Amino acid sequence: MSPQNEVEFIQKSEKIEPPVAYKRNSYVRSMAEYQEKYKHSIEDPASFWREIADELTWIQRENSVIEGSMPDFSFFPGSKINVCQNCVDRHALDPKRRNKVAIFFEGENGERRSWTYLQLHREVQKFANVLLSLGLSKGDVVSVYMQNLPETYVVLLACFRLGILYNTVFAGFSPEALRERILSSNAKAVICANGSYRRGKVLNLKDTVDAALRDEHPVQHVIVFRRIENLEVTMDPTRDHDYEELMQKASASCEVVPLDCNDPGLLIFTSGTSGKPKGIVHAGGGFLLGTYAYSKYQLDLRDEDVYWNTADIGWLTAHIFVLVGGLALGVTTILYEGAIDYPHQGRVYEMIERYQVNKLFSAPTAFRMLMKYGEELAKKYDLSSIQLLASVGEPLNPEAWHWLYRVIGQNQVVINNTWGQTETGGTPLASLPGATPMKPGSCGVPFFGHQLDVVNQDGQSVPDGTPGFLVIRTVFPTLARDVFGDRKRYVNNYFAPMPGVYFTGDSAVRDSDGQYWVLGRVDDVINVSGHRISTMEMESSLIAHEAVVEAAVVGQPDEIKGAVPVAFVTIDKQYTPDEELANALQRKVIEDIGSFAKPERIHFVNVMPKTRSGKIIRRMLREIIEEGTVRGDATGLEDSDILDKLIAEVKEDSANR
Ligand code: PRX
């Protein structure tokens, strides 16, 4: 859709009211109620955050609520809180919740087990003692290379208990990607599973860890959880430990460490506009405050819910809405290990039916996949328990929205398309499910205490209905506090582009009802199935291959994945532009970044469209693959003759495959 058509579509979009039955049980039940509470939260943000803080357990509470401004701000400075205590202890010590199931786990192989809050409490304390016994304590960093397992939750909660910064690395990332994260965070320990099931195959995670640690590194301990009984791995007796052996020796009682609300709590790497991934630092206490508030009001999480968020623990969504936000609210969650369409396409439905899931949170990509599998399949299962479907990470297109509403939701459901980023540590935009009229494709309204705006290049607000840059004007507790070890990059990336506001890097439109529609990135980041990939990072990987002279990567729209990366390369004359070289280049990207970043196609070209200052104009490459021609302004080209040549080359190259 062209930007003009897009805006027309937004202005005309229909409004669907949340089901009456849902409204009755929602924390906010009408737009008027939302608007009043929102207005008050912007006029007096401290009162809103104080209200949230009052629902949490504090070790010590001071009066001050918000101090400073972007980029140096703090929430409840001097007050002491512990994330783990709020997510585990307070439920385990509550007679009404202690025997409630915290986690229902299902492995891809069919294994099932569950833990109550009381059991979780015991395991977490033991593992915290394990960490202490290895000499790890507040301020240290550990890398966690595990898939969705109850033990992964134990590890992360134990880190929160002690103030150890954890960094989860998606269990599927290559040795190089893992190594880079270990080195840049100076991790003292790695905690991994020996292996993981994925689409029926076994991934040997310990082998990846060994490969990542081949050369010099800061890691003193590797703790290996034996997920797959008979998967043999090599254990280095000077460095590696068996999880179970350590747990057997550990005592089940470990005090929580009092932490300042602004102390760093977790570290998560994400792609930015430059080649190297950034280690985003979130404050532990701040993350708890915010994620508790988002989970409560945007998902209406309640004691009686059976809530399944399919996000992998390698992505921040699982930390926001399950590990911290979800557990802080004391809900029953479902944790699933592998591919949600394995061993059969109806696996998601089968699990919804088995546990009577009433709130399902997943990625738009996964929802589009279900749509592709068809309506007949969905009809074979009892999905009547579903009340809320939520998603984050990429646009939820109106077609998928309607399909979900009708087929999975049976027209009696709330769909909440939330917007957030690794850096925002939560979702500043979303529906308040019982209050906001739903508009298919919209990302809803600003959350309490968050002042969002759409502005032009000069930072001035644009009228409703006009696309512009999405910015956030107020500080909030889950906003990233730093880029690990690189304060300058933090300030330059997020606060320098437009002084006084947080620059999201996204473009958006606000409609006349105050709902926001996020249109896409304004920088060189592409979103493949919700995985953020820096095109620069992919280009650096390609250029490092000896045959490649220049590389440019662009995103091509894809029905299921949202976008797929397509690479354009010019190569050294000594090499032949053939299938073998294309395969080798694809393998290189997979090795350097991970399989999700594999370029869908490699186009060998002789020339690149460039500006006079020598910058590759990626927009033109995007237009060539999408429309076979360049429609936008071509006057910035250094050599305007090259366009026809380039278009012909891409056509020929595509025809040859
Ligand atoms: O471009 C926006 C897109 O995803 C980016 C953030 O990606 P990541 O940091 O991986 O997200 C983690 C989520 C906690 C954003 O800058 N994005 C996210 N949600 C939406 C979206 N684009 C459109 N619609 C959304 N609902």
* Residue to substitute in 273, 404, 421, 561 for testing ligand 1 pocket (most ligand atoms within 8 angstroms of CB): 421
Residue 618: both structure tokens together = 């990626």
468 and 547 part of one domain: no
Among 54, 426, 86, 74, which residue's Cα sits nearest to residue 258? 86
Output DSSP code: residue 419.
E
- Residue 572's CATH number: 3.30.300.30
543 and 631 part of one domain: yes
Ligand 1 center to residue 24 CA distance, Å?
30
> Which atom of ligand 1 is nearest the CA belonging to 531?
10
544 and 395 part of one domain: no
Is there a contact between 535 and 554 (Cβ–Cβ < 8 Å)? yes
Residue 275: both structure tokens together = 């080649």
Ligand 1 center to residue 421 CA distance, Å?
5
202-211 pLDDT tens trace: 999 999 999 9
Which residues share a beta bridge with 309?
361
379 and 515 part of one domain: yes
Residue 644 included in any domain: yes
Residue 106 included in any domain: no
Helix axes 117-133, 150-162, angle to 10 degrees: 60
Residue 297 included in any domain: no
User: Span 58-75, mean pLDDT?
Assistant: 98
Lowest mean pLDDT among 7-11, 99-103, 297-301: 7-11
Residue 506 CB–ligand 1 contact under 6 Å: yes
pTM of the model: 0.89
With a cut of 90, say whether residue 579 has pLDDT above it. Answer: yes
Residue 260: both structure tokens together = 């300042």
Output DSSP code: residue 546.
T
| Residues across the chain | 657
Query: In the block, which residue shows the tokens 């990607």?
Result: 177
DSSP output for 479-530: S--EETT-HHHHHHHHTSSSTTSEEEEEEEEE-TTS-EEEEEESSSEEEETT
Name the more confident of 596 and 257.
Answer: 257
**What per-residue confidence (pLDDT) applies to 544?**
86
361 and 412 part of one domain: yes
Residue 472: both structure tokens together = 């956030």
614 pLDDT band (50/70/90 cuts)? Answer: low
Residue 395 CB–ligand 1 contact under 6 Å: yes
536 pLDDT band (50/70/90 cuts)? Answer: confident
Residue 18 included in any domain: yes
520 pLDDT band (50/70/90 cuts)? Answer: confident
Q: For the chain, how big is the Rg over CA atoms in Å?
A: 24
**What per-residue confidence (pLDDT) applies to 535?**
82
**What per-residue confidence (pLDDT) applies to 643?**
83
Please name the residue whose Cα sits nearest to atom 8 of ligand 1: 421
> Which atom of ligand 1 is nearest the CA belonging to 320?
14
Instruction: Find the domain containing 390 and state its range.
Output: 1-22+348-420+428-482+500-522
Ligand 1 center to residue 614 CA distance, Å?
30
With a cut of 80, say whether residue 91 has pLDDT above it. Answer: yes
Backbone angles phi, psi at 604, to 5 degrees: -85, 120
646 and 552 part of one domain: yes
With a cut of 70, say whether residue 321 has pLDDT above it. Answer: yes
Residue 587 included in any domain: yes
555 and 609 part of one domain: yes
464 and 540 part of one domain: no
**What amino acid is encoded at 115 in this protein?**
W
Residue 536 included in any domain: yes
615 and 646 part of one domain: yes
Lowest mean pLDDT among 30-44, 152-166, 268-282: 268-282
H helices present in 524-578, as ranges: 535-543
592 pLDDT band (50/70/90 cuts)? Answer: confident
- Residue 505's CATH number: 3.40.50.12780
610 and 465 part of one domain: no
**What per-residue confidence (pLDDT) applies to 275?**
56
Output DSSP code: residue 460.
P
**What per-residue confidence (pLDDT) applies to 5?**
64
With a cut of 70, say whether residue 466 has pLDDT above it. Answer: yes
568 and 433 part of one domain: no
User: Span 29-42, mean pLDDT?
Assistant: 98
**What per-residue confidence (pLDDT) applies to 272?**
64
Overall number of domains in the chain? 2
Is there a contact between 179 and 127 (Cβ–Cβ < 8 Å)? no
536 and 642 part of one domain: yes
582 pLDDT band (50/70/90 cuts)? Answer: very high
| Cβ neighbourhood burial of 217 (10 Å; 0-12, 13-18, 19+) | middle
Which helix (H) or strand (E) element contains residue 301?
none
**What per-residue confidence (pLDDT) applies to 635?**
66
**What per-residue confidence (pLDDT) applies to 421?**
95
Average pLDDT value for the chain: 93
Residue 409 CB–ligand 1 contact under 6 Å: no
Residue 543 included in any domain: yes
Residue 148 included in any domain: no
Which helix (H) or strand (E) element contains residue 308?
strand 306-309
